[in-house]
Amino acid sequence: MFQKFQTKLVLLFALLFAAVQGVSYLSVQNTVRNNIFDQARDQLTRAYAVFEKNVEDTTTVLAEGSTILAKDFGFRQAVATNDRPTIMSAIDNLSTRIKADRVILVAPDNKIIGDTGTASDAAADGNIVTVGEANAVFQFPEMIAQADEEGRANSITVMDGQIYQTVVVPIGAPVTIASLVIGVEINTIYVATLAKKFTVPLDITFAKSPAEGEWIVGTSTLKPELAAGLGGALRTADTSATQVAKTLTLGGRDFVTLIASLPSPSSSAKIDAAIQYSLDASLIPFEPLFLTLLGLAGGTLLLTLIASFFIAGGVSKPIRVLDAAARRIQSGDYREKVNIDQKDEIGRLSQTFNQMMDGIAQREAKIEYQSLHDPSTELPNRLAFERRLNGAIAEAQKSNAALSVYLVQIGRFSEINNTLGHDTGEQLVAKIGDNLQRIIKQSDVVSRHSSSIFALLLPGAGSNQVNPIVERILDSFDEPLSVGGNAIDVTAWIGEACYPEHGITAKMLLQRADTAIFEAKKSSQHYALYNAQLDPYKPERLSMMGELRSGLDRGEFRLYYQPKIDIATEKITAAEALIRWIHPVRGFMPPDAFIPLAEQTGNIQKLTSWALDTAIAQVAAWKAKGIDIKVAINLSARDLSNRNLPHEIERVMAKHGATIDQLILEITESAVMEDPKQSMEVLSALNKMGAILSIDDYGTGYSSMSYLKSLPVQEIKIDKSFVMKLSSNKGDEILVRSTIDLGHNLGLKVTAEGVEDRAGLDILKTYGCETGQGYHISKPVPAADFEKFFLTSRWSPLPQSAAANA
């Protein structure tokens, strides 16, 4: 309810105004009351004097009248002679004359001789009551004594429950023979009469004032309900200071009160009088004034409310407008401007608001641009690309369209950065970005995906044909790129993944395109479309990796050995160890099914370690049996980047007591080319150790003769694809022959694998090829079979008798 500024302001005004009005009203009322109180006090002081005088006058009247009787000779004679009829008639006469309500004749021994009784008694029988009780005693002997001493005593007494103003005079004959007690009842007539003597309307109350506690109200001019409260309001403790005006509240009304202490006999209840001035009654004449004041206050308050409502509205309206604008800014809407046509602070504030909105909008746009763009190339960044890709996927999903994601990786980028500096690297990337943008259509997206990778999003071209754009992109890298005065040769690979066949999310498509780059690097075309079969990250392949590791532990792997013969002597000189996996479920697994996978996932090292250990142990065992041959073990690219490999081989040899000359290490060209620098280091170390290094699968890669020359190898092994049809294919024959010649010219020995028949073997012999291997001699066999073959076959180097004996 008080949320609104306008309401608050109106309320504040109203409260302030009401407070001021209230204070002034109360102050006027207070002043009036104070004046009246002062007046009342003066009036009461005057009234008190009147009261005292009245009591005294009454006493005087009573005393004088009774003294006259007490001195009357006849009366005294009547008393002295106990002439009762005379006594009673005299008393009756006296009470009538001085308007006494009660006359009592008391003997010197305080026994009551005669008593008119209370006024009501007298009214009842119209005559004097003669006290018949023998033992009736006057209650206040001290008054008798005082009267005897002083000729008169006067007090306010309570007799038979009635308050009396009482006078006692002695009857001397001449010694005191009796005392006359004369009382005027302090009844409602008494107080009313008394009250009439005051110049202002006052209330008077006679009450018992006991030593402690509340007063007991006797006679009062107050209304009974107010009089009843007076007893409680008056406590002796509070009224000890008499003649001091104080304010008492009776029935919600204030009375200025003065206490008059009256003489009482010590044996009687103490009687005091309260004279009161009603403040409220005195305020009655002022009521019209107060009503006028209240009316004025109410009227002006209403006017204030109306005025403040409009003023507050004027102030709060622009604030509401600004509030709404602030909410729009909060929700990111900066378009609608604040329109407050005012020349004051609020007008300026609204101008500032508008400028602020513009500023925020600009900064936000800038931040958004920066968050979605690569600063070097000004191309969209990975985040932006993924958004666009997601959007495109959503579109394609609706229209059943296809999409292609290409990742273009720049080769040697970190090398370029290291050599030419980061700035040059970034300029190069910017240039490549420009080129890419030029190549693709305006509607296609190119983004910088990571430092050396660009991502492209193109409409699907269908996975069975390569988009010509791929060609154009790769062509753009043919010429060196000129950056900062440097002509830089840049290689690039492109991996492609298609929606929906390779993935239906941006993340998956990008990952698959990345995997395709991996394949692209192996390809001479520098381009590959994602192939699920080759994807090492495909779930089933990943599970096979796990099985491969556990298979090693469980001994599911075997080494098979294929004999190598010296072609000249046709005797076995060595054996190539080939790995076999006898999978418990899948059965016999060919090396092609798990070797590339192991290479990609890093498990090849484990496999190599196992093969080294097993093969070296075997060759050592054979030598002990007199089977003195070399063993050839295949190393992968990963093995060549393992600096620790030479030490490991040394350790294994030492372990099994083998010598380095028993070992041939076969490596492929592509394995060396993957990390030539590192491979060279490892190969040099192995060469130093004395191991024979052989280039495997020679002829399948991009073998560069000059490069081959720089490798510390002793042997090349011609790929079986050239050898197998040697006897029937003329082309192969020339190729094999020239290769053998070339190897020999470089000082290398040559091994031919895939020797399938006798004719092939004979051709190789003619060409001077040193070593042969193939099914014509033997397929790869388990160690035990190999042992038997070595001892018994025609290729055995042992003398025939020894072989026959074995």
Partner 1 sequence: MGAANAGTILAQISADGGGAIADAVVYAIPASGPASASQATALMAQENQEFTPFVLPVQVGTNVEFPNRDSFRHHVYSFSAAKPFELKLFSGKERQVVTFDKEGIIALGCNIHDNMLAYIYAVPTPYFAKTGDDGKATIANLGAGAYTLKVWHPTKKPAAKKLS
Binding site residues, partner 1, CB under 8 A: 71, 73, 76-77, 79-81, 172-177
Minimum CB–partner distance for residue 176 and partner 1 (Å): 8
Minimum CB–partner distance for residue 145 and partner 1 (Å): 13
Q: 80 or 532: whose CB is closer to partner 1?
A: 80
Q: 171 or 667: whose CB is closer to partner 1?
A: 171
Sign of the alpha-carbon torsion through 335, 340, 343, 345: negative
C-alpha span between 624 and 376 (Å, rounded): 67
Q: 170 or 772: whose CB is closer to partner 1?
A: 170
Q: 172 or 459: whose CB is closer to partner 1?
A: 172
CA distances to 31, 57, 159, 806 from 193, rounded to whole Å, are 33, 13, 21, 167
Minimum CB–partner distance for residue 274 and partner 1 (Å): 39
**Residue 415: alpha-carbon gap to chain centroid:** 48
Which tokens belong to 299? 């009227």
Minimum CB–partner distance for residue 174 and partner 1 (Å): 3
Q: 65 or 646: whose CB is closer to partner 1?
A: 65
Q: 177 or 321: whose CB is closer to partner 1?
A: 177
Minimum CB–partner distance for residue 68 and partner 1 (Å): 12
Sign of the alpha-carbon torsion through 536, 537, 540, 543: positive
Minimum CB–partner distance for residue 95 and partner 1 (Å): 23
Minimum CB–partner distance for residue 105 and partner 1 (Å): 15
Q: 167 or 469: whose CB is closer to partner 1?
A: 167
Q: 87 or 498: whose CB is closer to partner 1?
A: 87
C-alpha span between 479 and 492 (Å, rounded): 12
Which tokens belong to 104? 């009592």
Which tokens belong to 282? 């005195």
CA distances to 121, 197, 511 from 282, rounded to whole Å, are 40, 18, 102
* Residue with token string 């000059």: 706
Q: 170 or 318: whose CB is closer to partner 1?
A: 170
Q: 108 or 263: whose CB is closer to partner 1?
A: 108
Helix residue spans in 758-799 (DSSP H) = 758-767, 783-792
Q: 149 or 475: whose CB is closer to partner 1?
A: 149
Which tokens belong to 701? 């890669």
Long-range contacts of 743-750 (CB under 8 A, 24+ apart): 743/715, 743/716, 744/768, 746/705, 746/708, 746/709, 748/713, 748/714, 748/715, 748/716, 749/714, 749/715, 749/716, 750/715, 750/716, 750/717, 750/718
Q: 21 or 67: whose CB is closer to partner 1?
A: 67
The Cβ-side half-sphere exposure at 477, using a 13 Å CA radius, reads 22
Minimum CB–partner distance for residue 173 and partner 1 (Å): 5
CA distances to 644, 646, 680 from 686, rounded to whole Å, are 11, 6, 10
**Contact criterion met (CB below 8 Å) for 429 and 447:** no
**Contact criterion met (CB below 8 Å) for 758 and 774:** no
C-alpha span between 49 and 258 (Å, rounded): 11
* Residue with token string 């660009």: 454
Minimum CB–partner distance for residue 77 and partner 1 (Å): 6
Q: 18 or 173: whose CB is closer to partner 1?
A: 173
Minimum CB–partner distance for residue 107 and partner 1 (Å): 14
Which residues are CB-neighbours of 54 under 8 A, at least 6 positions away? 194, 197
C-alpha span between 132 and 28 (Å, rounded): 66
C-alpha span between 574 and 661 (Å, rounded): 11
Closest CA to 434 of 412, 454, 416, 414: 454
Q: 149 or 553: whose CB is closer to partner 1?
A: 149
**Residue 131: alpha-carbon gap to chain centroid:** 100
Minimum CB–partner distance for residue 134 and partner 1 (Å): 21
C-alpha span between 438 and 754 (Å, rounded): 50
Pairing of strands 253-261, 246-250: antiparallel
Minimum CB–partner distance for residue 36 and partner 1 (Å): 52
Minimum CB–partner distance for residue 98 and partner 1 (Å): 20
Minimum CB–partner distance for residue 135 and partner 1 (Å): 23
DSSP 131: P
Question: Which regions of 649-743 does DSSP assign to beta strands (E)?
Answer: 663-668, 692-698, 715-718
